[in-house]
Amino acid sequence: ARANRIGDVDAVVVGAGFAGLYAVHKLRSLGLTVQGVEAADGVGGTWFWNRYPGARCDVESVDYSYSFSRELEQEWDWSEKYATQPEILAYIDHVADRFDLRDRFLFGTRVTSAELDEDTLRWEVRTDRGDVLSARYCIFATGALSTANMPNIPGRESFTGDTHHTGHWPHEGVDFTGRRVGIIGTGSSGIQSIPVIAEQADHLYVFQRSANYSVPAGNEMWDDEMRRAIKAGYDERRRLSRESGGGSPYNAHPKSALEVSEEERRDAYETRWKLGGVLFAKTFPDQTKTEAANATAREFAENKIRRLVDDPAVADKLIPNDHPIGTKRIVTDTHYFETYNRPNVTLVDLKAAPIESITPSGITTADADYGLDTLVFATGFDAMTGALDRMRIVGRDGVSLAEYWSEGPKTYLGVGVPGFPNLFVVTGPGSPSVLANMVLGAEQHVDWIADCIEHLWEKDYDAVEASVPATEQWVEHCRELAAQTLFPLANSWYMGANIPGKPRVFMPYIGGFGAYGRICADVAEEGFRGFEFSRSRTRLAD
């Protein structure tokens, strides 16, 4: 057991994922004293928890990696185009050691509350292990997809077999050999793990509520020559990524999907399909803006699915019919659709016959009983706000963040919240990160926050805080941008639609990663326009 940490620091950083580690590194380089707090027993965030079979990132490894250190870029060797979870975690572990970040963290420790002292404008941060910290700045790097969603299906607790959530996978792994396995959920986590589980299990039942679009990863192993080329090309790759819509060095076709000939359109889709994965969503610039453009992409994807699945009746069920393609994140898969050609895999269509209950021996739907030994929940996350809502974060006038966000999250630039001075959210709602490259997004936010703190020092203030009008305008701007797209039509986690009772608001900023970066830079350039700077009462009284 360790002694409780009680003390004063300049900054508390919550979370030791990509964002939190970089925040500690950056703030420390400014000379701040920093205390990191992490619920897990190690670094990695998402990549610490999501150890399910087949877990990979859907952004290419070279892009989904830190850009702040050229030495790091040149030292680290990625083994394949889409890195697996163990490789990404090994990379994060390496970074933690390389930059000496580990000893700055309290691991196995969850922040339970952060309360503002309005006189001193400092935060009192408490943990579930009894630590009490006082900090000038609070940086929440708690992740957009870190709070697992366990659906309240009647009888869930009665199941006598093994139960696992993909986002809390046991470190020792799970052996499915000889087992009848049920998996609920066909988002990224389900679609990545299903082909791997199917190879081991005696029988796999996939309980699908909504079919999802998925594009093969087109993964490749890198050889030394490729790695040399990658290392030589980092600067240009990062530059293109920072200017792009999605934080990767790719841009959409210059014309509308409806302007080009049928042949040109087919070729463009084919090229993107081969490139692999989630980028298919951005083949044409209007693909997620108009139903007509979107229909051309849907038709292309449907034909691909029909060619991959032997049984046309199963293919019918696997073709999404409830959302425009790309308005839920397209999954990047490895042999997903072909898995349904295996004799030991059964697709259970919950739209036709919903789950009625989980029983001690399996799952009962409206028309059948399925006997199961192992049940996997690939049911996603309370996204973007879940981790923040679960802490007691209390700002000015005793108002909590959860209260302030009761009708949906409200931020300025996704970083600041009115009434919560010196509290910064990294890659929060109102920022584009979940639609882009999380690692570059986290770096951009942390760099911006560091600039903001430096500005505050230069002007000799104690606190910085988003103004109410700037926040209202930003929230409205985000809403307007989303309304010009098809995204609000999908029951996605972007909309909070996967969590019963959660307000339906499109949470990310959808104007593009590059455009967002320029806005943030302009705001900083103009003396942090839309933020208010103040001095604490205690200091004014001195």
Residue ranges binding ligand NA7 (CB under 6 A): 145, 151, 153, 166, 184-190, 209-210, 329, 350, 378-380, 491, 493, 498
Min dist CB 159 to ligand NA7, Å, is 14
Q: Which is nearer to ligand NA7, 185 or 430 (CB)?
A: 185
CA–CA gap between residue 197 and residue 175 (Å, rounded):
9
Question: Which of these, 376, 357, 536, lies nearest to 462 by C-alpha position?
Answer: 536
Q: Which is nearer to ligand NA7, 81 or 329 (CB)?
A: 329
Q: Which is nearer to ligand NA7, 173 or 354 (CB)?
A: 354
Min dist CB 1 to ligand NA7, Å, is 34
Q: Which is nearer to ligand NA7, 470 or 495 (CB)?
A: 495
The residue nearest ligand NA7 at its CB is: 187
Min dist CB 511 to ligand NA7, Å, is 19
Half-sphere exposure of 289 (CA within 13 A, CB side): 13
Min dist CB 188 to ligand NA7, Å, is 4
Q: Which is nearer to ligand NA7, 127 or 210 (CB)?
A: 210
Question: Which of these, 129, 20, 13, 4, lies nearest to 422 by C-alpha position?
Answer: 13
CB 272 within 8 A of CB 296: no
Min dist CB 376 to ligand NA7, Å, is 11
Question: Which of these, 78, 92, 75, 76, lies nearest to 219 by C-alpha position?
Answer: 78
Q: Which H helix or E strand runs over 85? A: helix 85-98
Min dist CB 166 to ligand NA7, Å, is 6
CB 81 within 8 A of CB 60: yes
CA–CA gap between residue 473 and residue 278 (Å, rounded):
30
Strands 355-359 and 362-365 turn out to be antiparallel
Triad 426, 496, 301: Cα angle to 5°: 100
Min dist CB 380 to ligand NA7, Å, is 3
Min dist CB 35 to ligand NA7, Å, is 29
Q: Which is nearer to ligand NA7, 324 or 395 (CB)?
A: 324
Q: What are the strands, taking DSSP E only, across 191-245?
A: 203-208, 214-216
- Decide: residue 221, CB within 10 A, 0-12 exposed, 13-18 middle, 19+ buried: exposed
The letter for the amino acid at 196 is V
CA–CA gap between residue 118 and residue 124 (Å, rounded):
11
CA–CA gap between residue 300 and residue 330 (Å, rounded):
14
